């Protein structure tokens, strides 16, 4: 039986065999059928060549596979630009749209099967018509713009996911495309919707599972969802990772794989630190901190649904699928060897200070201040409470005047803008605590406005002037690497 199995595994890797029959049940019996969600980011589906790599990665796997796809690299930016231009110059917006649509048609033209190619071309045009209608509505004015922007942006993932589903089918891999709006249900908040897990779970059970049971590779666009009334919503920039985690959690998948353009989560942003290295393993907690502090490779919300259900998240390079990538789970490497650095520009330090002269208000000052932040939808990067003030680090895009008005009865708000958060994370900070104390030596003359260890002993964060952030990341990374060499040498001498 074993030799037949191995032969079968081998032969299934050829395109011809894939075209002829489905073998899902066979592998389920052998225990090989991992339920996997594979998410491919924008660069991984940038053009026909990149999509061919996606098809090869998905085709080399067995068992229930759900593929979550981002828009083609740059498509979301182009759509946002189209939405912005539409208000001033609808003709120019339509021209930009035409160029973007052409880019999608160019990929569709590589589909071999004529009927499938024509159908795909028609689908691309159909989504493009929705964008044109959106441009016209924005140009006419007098409309609520955020819902229209969401419908425009959604086209990016609807196009790309349709294309990937067709390319899979063209290679003999039975695929089933689903409109993300019927799968990921949300609270309807335009631009940054939150998932409605109960409704999404129901949709996944009703739509995704039956297709997987028929041995189809399910393909769905990331980033996009729909609100309670069926209106199109998006999850926030970079949100396709989050879509993969939401769907993975609802499927109770064995793994959520994030396929991107780097070899995994690195010890620092490779654009800032050229010799950053791949972290083979990372804990959920550390990955969450890194992502929240600007490691763009993962959307910060990705970790929560995965961690809640104990599903490993694996970050891999679609250009180098032979590389193992980074595995993120509850344990991480567990060897006290991880140390990484990240930075996040564009944050403000906000002090909410209790007004002594204020009329008495119900509830404690801290509770009121926290509640006001939450009511205003402000998400806090890090914060600290002391006596009469709450100090929080928030994204600088928050609505300061709106927030001031909200707390005016009981507090003053002071803001320092133009800052960046720099964070160091990893279990080495616990196993070698002097790394943390010595780290302050590398700050040099950078002004440190705030220090936080609120994420626990495996991390610390400092708030500095924006211009100092990258230099500090590089110096901290060096500091950890030197420490690492010393530790390795000491171990070798023992």
Residue numbers of the site for ligand ASP (CB under 6 A)?
41-42, 70-71, 76, 156, 222-223, 237-240
Q: Which letter, b or e, does each residue of 443-481 get, where b requires 16 or more Cβ atoms within 10 Å of its Cβ?
A: beebeeebebeebeebbbbbbbeeebbbbbbbbbbebbb
Q: Which is closer to ligand ASP, CB of 9 or CB of 194?
A: 194
Report the candidate in 25, 22, 27 with the shortest Cα–Cα distance to residue 9: 27
| Binding range to ligand ADP, per CB under 6 A, among 100-108, 289-297, 358-366, 485-493 | 289-297
Q: In whole angstroms, how close is the CB of 295 to ligand ADP at the nearest point?
A: 4
**Is 67 a residue that touches ligand ADP (CB under 6 A)?**
no
Q: Which is closer to ligand ADP, CB of 176 or CB of 344?
A: 344
Q: In whole angstroms, how close is the CB of 291 to ligand ASP at the nearest point?
A: 13
Of ligand ASP, Mg ion, ligand ADP, none, which one does residue 261 interact with (CB within 5 to 8 Å by kind)? ligand ADP
Q: In whole angstroms, how close is the CB of 294 to Mg ion at the nearest point?
A: 12
Q: Which is closer to ligand ASP, CB of 188 or CB of 222?
A: 222
Q: In whole angstroms, how close is the CB of 260 to ligand ASP at the nearest point?
A: 10
Q: Which of residues 20-59 bind ligand ADP (CB under 6 A)?
A: 41-44
Give the binding-site size for Mg ion (rule: CB under 5 A).
2
Q: Which of 150, 157, 269, 468 binds ligand ADP (CB under 6 A)?
A: 269
Q: 114-140 vs 145-170: helix axis angle to the nearest 10?
A: 170
Q: Which of residues 238-257 bind ligand ADP (CB under 6 A)?
A: 238
Q: Which is closer to ligand ASP, CB of 150 or CB of 432?
A: 150
**Is 238 a residue that touches Mg ion (CB under 5 A)?**
yes
**Contact map string, positions 25 to 64, toward Mg ion, x by CB under 5 A:** ----------------x-----------------------
CA atoms within 13 A of residue 414's CA, in its CB half-sphere? 7
Of ligand ADP, ligand ASP, Mg ion, none, which one does residue 248 interact with (CB within 5 to 8 Å by kind)? none
Please give the distance of CA 107 from its chain centroid, rounded to a whole number. Answer: 25
Q: Which residues pair with 421 in a beta bridge?
A: 344, 463
**Is 297 a residue that touches ligand ADP (CB under 6 A)?**
yes
Q: In whole angstroms, how close is the CB of 331 to ligand ASP at the nearest point?
A: 27
Q: Which of 180, 212, 262, 347 binds ligand ADP (CB under 6 A)?
A: 262
Structure tokens at 386: 């002391």
Q: Which is closer to ligand ADP, CB of 42 or CB of 300?
A: 42
Of ligand ASP, Mg ion, ligand ADP, none, which one does residue 223 interact with (CB within 5 to 8 Å by kind)? ligand ASP
Give the separation between CA 186 and CA 133, rounded to whole angstroms. 24
**Contact map string, positions 339 to 358, toward ligand ADP, x by CB under 6 A:** ---x----------------
- Which residues are near ligand ADP by CB under 6 A? 41-44, 70, 238, 260-262, 265-266, 268-271, 295-297, 342
- Which residues are near Mg ion by CB under 5 A? 41, 238
């Amino acid at each position: 039986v074993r030799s037949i199995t191995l032969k079968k595994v081998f032969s299934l890797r050829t395109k011809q065999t894939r075209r002829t029959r489905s073998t899902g049940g066979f592998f389920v019996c052998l225990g090989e059928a991992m339920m996997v969600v594979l998410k491919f980011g924008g660069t991984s589906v940038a053009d026909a060549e990149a999509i061919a790599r996606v098809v090869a990665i998905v085709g080399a796997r067995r068992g229930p596979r759900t593929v979550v796809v981002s828009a083609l690299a740059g498509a979301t930016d182009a759509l946002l630009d189209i939405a912005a231009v539409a208000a001033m110059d609808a003709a120019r917006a339509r021209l930009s749209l035409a160029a973007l649509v052409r880019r999608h048609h160019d990929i569709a033209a590589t589909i071999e099967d004529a009927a499938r190619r024509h159908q795909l071309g028609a689908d691309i045009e159909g989504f493009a018509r929705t964008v044109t209608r959106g441009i016209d509505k924005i140009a006419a004015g007098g409309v609520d713009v955020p819902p229209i922007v969401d419908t425009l942006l959604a086209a990016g993932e609807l196009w790309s996911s349709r294309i990937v589903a067709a390319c899979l089918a063209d290679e003999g891999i039975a695929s089933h495309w689903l409109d993300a709006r019927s799968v990921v249900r949300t609270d309807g908040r335009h631009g940054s919707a939150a998932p409605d897990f109960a409704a999404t779970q129901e949709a996944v059970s009703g739509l995704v599972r039956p297709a997987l049971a028929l041995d189809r590779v399910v393909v769905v666009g990331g980033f996009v969802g729909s609100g309670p009334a069926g209106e199109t919503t998006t999850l926030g920039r970079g949100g396709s990772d989050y879509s993969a985690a939401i769907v993975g959690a609802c499927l109770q998948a064995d793994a959520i794989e994030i396929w991107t353009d780097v070899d995994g989560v690195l010890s620092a942003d490779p654009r800032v630190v050229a010799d950053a290295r791949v972290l083979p393993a990372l804990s959920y907690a550390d990955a969450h901190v890194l992502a929240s502090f600007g490691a763009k490779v993962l959307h910060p919300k990705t970790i929560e649904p995965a961690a809640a259900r104990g599903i490993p998240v694996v970050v891999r390079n679609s250009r180098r699928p032979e590389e193992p990538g980074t595995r993120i789970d509850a344990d991480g490497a567990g060897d006290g060897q991880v140390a990484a650095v990240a930075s996040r520009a564009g944050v403000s330090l906000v002090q909410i200070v209790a007004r002594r002269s204020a009329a008495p208000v119900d509830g404690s000052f801290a509770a009121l201040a926290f509640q006001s932040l939450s009511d205003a939808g402000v998400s806090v990067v890090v914060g600290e409470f002391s006596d009469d003030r709450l100090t929080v680090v928030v994204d600088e895009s928050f609505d300061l005047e709106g927030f001031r008005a909200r707390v005016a009865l009981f507090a003053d708000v002071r803001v320092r803008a133009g800052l960046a958060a720099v964070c160091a994370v990893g279990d080495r900070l616990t196993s070698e605590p002097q790394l943390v104390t010595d780290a302050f030596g590398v700050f040099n003359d950078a002004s440190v406005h705030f220090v936080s260890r609120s994420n626990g002993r495996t991390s610390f964060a400092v708030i500095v002037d924006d211009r100092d952030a990258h230099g500090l990341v590089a110096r901290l990374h060096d500091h950890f690497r030197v420490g690492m060499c010393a530790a390795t040498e000491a171990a070798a001498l023992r």
